[in-house]
Every structure is written in structure tokens, then in C-alpha cells.
Amino acid sequence: MAIEISRAHFEELVDDALDEIPDELFELMVNVVIEVEDTAPGGDPHLLGLYEGIPLTERDTNYSMVLPDRIRIFRKPILSICDTLWQVVEEVHVTVVHEIAHHFGISDHRLHELGYG
């Protein structure tokens, strides 16, 4: 049975996960916003988070005047796979790290190897 958590509480969990990112890495995150949304695009129940943008590893001297990259964390899909608050905390952490890693140019394949799949 899935757990229910208010959007405000879920946003706090995302903030807590961001607080766990080492300052040295967080300071390198350039031109990126992190948002919480209730559902994934197209209502995809399996999509927990999404990175949209140009990874830092692909930016060159022509990178300017662009909209911020977006990291979106999807509340309802995460809640649908969790039965306890502890599981939500863990899944939010994994999803936040996973999407931030994409901002740094780390592939899904490598993330799965590292346990952030």
C-alpha cells in the first residue's frame, strides 16, 4: 500500500536530500532549478525524476543566455512505490542524487552501477 504525504512535507524531504549534497558539488551546480511536481509528464507512473538541460560536461564557450536546466522530482510516482516514510526518504534521496548526477554528465548506466538506478 502506498503512503500519502502532503506536498509540503514532500518538498521538505527534497530539501533535506539537497542538504545532503556536499557543498563543493552544490556550488558547481550552475544555472539549474529543482522543482517538485505531483505527476510525471504523460502521467508516467514509473518516472520518479527528470533532468532537462545541457549537462556541465557538454557546455562550452558558446553556453550563454539559456534558460536554466530543470530537475523535476515527481511526488506521486515516488509515493506509489513506497509503503513507509523511511522508504520515501530513501527514494527521494536516490532520485535527487540521480538527477543531479545527470546535470554533471553522469549516464544512467553509470548511475545504475553505483546503485542510483
| Per-residue confidence in pLDDT tens, the chain, 117 aa | 678 999 999 999 999 999 999 999 888 888 899 999 999 999 898 999 999 998 888 888 888 888 899 999 999 999 999 999 999 999 999 999 999 999 999 888 888 887 766
Cβ atoms 81, 46 nearer than 8 A: no
pTM reported for the whole predicted model: 0.91
Judge whether 111 and 117 are in contact, CB under 8 Å.
yes
C-alpha 82/C-alpha 3 separation (Å) is 6
